[in-house]
Chain A
Amino acid sequence: MTIELLASFGSMLQPGPFAFIFIGVLSGIVIGAIPGLNGAMLVALSLPLTYGWDPLNGIALLVGQYVGSISGGLVSATLLNIPGSASSMMTTLDAAPMAQNGRPDRALQLGIIASFFGGLVSWLALVFLSPPLAKLALNFGPHEYFALVLAALMLISSLSDGSMVKALISACLGMFAAFPGIDTITAQPRLTFGLPQMNAGFDLLAVLLGVFAVTQLLDDSAKTSKSAERLKLGARMSWIKLGDITRQWFNLIRSSLIGTWIGILPGVGGSVGAIVSYVSAKNMSKTPEKFGTGCDDGVIASEAANNATVGGALIPMITMGIPGSIIDVILIAALTLHNIRPGPLLFQNEPEIVYGFMSVMFIANLLMLLLMLAGIRFFAKLIDVPLKYLVPVLLLLCVVGAFAVNNRLFDVWVMFGFGVLGLLFRAWRIPIAPFVIGFILTPIAETNFRTALIASDNSLTSFVMRPISAVFIVVALAVLVLPLLRRRRGAAATSSATDLQ
Chain B
Amino acid sequence: MKSTAGEIALSVACATLAVGIYWSAAQIPPSLMSQISAGLVPRVVAAALLLLALVHLVTVLRRPRQVRGGGDSGRVSGARLPALETHLTWLVATVLFGFLLVVELELLPFWLSGFLFCFLAILVLSDLSLRAVVLAAGISAASILVTVLVFTQVFTVILP
Chain A residues with CB under 8 Å of chain B are 49, 51-52, 162-166, 168-169, 172-173, 175-176, 179, 183, 185-188, 190-191, 193, 214, 218-219, 221-222, 224-225, 387-389, 391-393, 395-397, 399-400, 403-404, 407, 409, 412-413, 416, 419-420, 423, 426-430, 446, 449-450, 453-454, 458, 487
Closest Cβ–Cβ distance, residue B114 to chain A (whole Å): 6
Q: How far is the CA of A121 from the CA of B100 in the complex (A)?
A: 46
In addition to A176-B17, A389-B122, 12 A-B residue pairs with Cβ atoms within 8 Å of each other are A173-B17, A191-B21, A193-B24, A225-B88, A388-B122, A395-B117, A409-B160, A427-B83, A427-B84, A428-B6, A428-B10, A428-B79
Q: How far is the CA of A120 from the CA of B17 in the complex (A)?
A: 46
Complex contacts, A453 vs chain B, CB 8 Å: 36
Q: How far is the CA of A420 from the CA of B151 in the complex (A)?
A: 26
Q: How far is the CA of A169 from the CA of B41 in the complex (A)?
A: 16
Q: How far is the CA of A449 from the CA of B42 in the complex (A)?
A: 12
Complex contacts, A168 vs chain B, CB 8 Å: 48, 52
Quick check: B33 and A186 within 8 Å, CB to CB?
A: yes
Quick check: B77 and A163 within 8 Å, CB to CB?
A: yes
Chain B residues with CB under 8 Å of chain A are 6-7, 10, 14, 17-18, 21, 24-25, 28-29, 31, 33-42, 45-46, 48-49, 52-53, 55-56, 59, 75-77, 79, 81-84, 86, 88-89, 91-93, 96-97, 99-100, 103-104, 114, 117-118, 121-122, 124-126, 135, 139-140, 143-144, 147, 151, 155, 157-160
Complex contacts, B159 vs chain A, CB 8 Å: 400, 403
Q: Which of B10, B76, B117, B125 has the most CB of A within 10 A?
A: B125
Partner of B77, one of A397, A416, A429: A429
Complex contacts, B151 vs chain A, CB 8 Å: 400, 404
Complex contacts, B89 vs chain A, CB 8 Å: 218-219, 221-222, 423
User: Which of chain B's residues has its CB closest to A484's CB?
Assistant: B75
Quick check: B157 and A400 within 8 Å, CB to CB?
A: yes
Contact A165/B56 with A172-B48, A186-B31, A186-B33 known, Cβ cut-off 8 Å: yes
- A-B residue pairs in contact (CB < 8 Å), sample of 30: A163-B75, A165-B52, A165-B56, A165-B76, A166-B76, A169-B52, A183-B38, A185-B34, A185-B36, A186-B34, A187-B33, A191-B21, A191-B25, A225-B88, A388-B125, A389-B135, A391-B92, A397-B147, A399-B114, A403-B160, A404-B155, A412-B103, A416-B97, A419-B93, A420-B93, A427-B81, A428-B79, A450-B34, A453-B36, A458-B35
Complex contacts, A173 vs chain B, CB 8 Å: 14, 17, 49
Complex contacts, B79 vs chain A, CB 8 Å: 427-429
Quick check: A393 and B36 within 8 Å, CB to CB?
A: no
Complex contacts, A428 vs chain B, CB 8 Å: 6-7, 10, 79
User: Which of chain B's residues has its CB closest to A187's CB?
Assistant: B33
Complex contacts, A389 vs chain B, CB 8 Å: 122, 135, 139
Closest Cβ–Cβ distance, residue B130 to chain A (whole Å): 16
Partner of A172, one of B6, B45, B55, B100: B45
Quick check: B38 and A190 within 8 Å, CB to CB?
A: yes
Complex contacts, A164 vs chain B, CB 8 Å: 75
User: Which of chain B's residues has its CB closest to A413's CB?
Assistant: B100
Q: How far is the CA of A392 from the CA of B116 in the complex (A)?
A: 11
User: Which of chain A's residues has its CB closest to B160's CB?
Assistant: A409
Quick check: A166 and B56 within 8 Å, CB to CB?
A: yes
**How many residue pairs bridge A and B at CB < 8 Å?**
191
Q: How far is the CA of A218 from the CA of B77 in the complex (A)?
A: 23
Complex contacts, B21 vs chain A, CB 8 Å: 176, 179, 191
Complex contacts, B41 vs chain A, CB 8 Å: 179, 446, 449-450
Q: How far is the CA of A388 from the CA of B91 in the complex (A)?
A: 13
Closest Cβ–Cβ distance, residue A17 to chain B (whole Å): 18
Quick check: B122 and A412 within 8 Å, CB to CB?
A: no
Quick check: A165 and B96 within 8 Å, CB to CB?
A: no
User: Which of chain A's residues has its CB closest to B139's CB?
Assistant: A389
Q: How far is the CA of A403 from the CA of B41 in the complex (A)?
A: 31
Closest Cβ–Cβ distance, residue A413 to chain B (whole Å): 7
Q: How far is the CA of A389 from the CA of B87 in the complex (A)?
A: 18
Complex contacts, A190 vs chain B, CB 8 Å: 25, 28, 38-39, 42
Those 4 A-B pairs whose CB atoms lie nearest each other, nearest first: A222-B86, A392-B121, A186-B31, A388-B125
Quick check: B36 and A450 within 8 Å, CB to CB?
A: yes
Quick check: B35 and A185 within 8 Å, CB to CB?
A: no
Contact A188/B103 with A395-B121, A427-B79 known, Cβ cut-off 8 Å: no
Partner of A487, one of B25, B75, B124, B144: B75
Quick check: A172 and B52 within 8 Å, CB to CB?
A: yes
Quick check: B125 and A224 within 8 Å, CB to CB?
A: yes
Quick check: A221 and B88 within 8 Å, CB to CB?
A: yes
Complex contacts, A222 vs chain B, CB 8 Å: 83, 86, 88-89
Complex contacts, B100 vs chain A, CB 8 Å: 399, 409, 412-413, 416
Quick check: A454 and B155 within 8 Å, CB to CB?
A: no
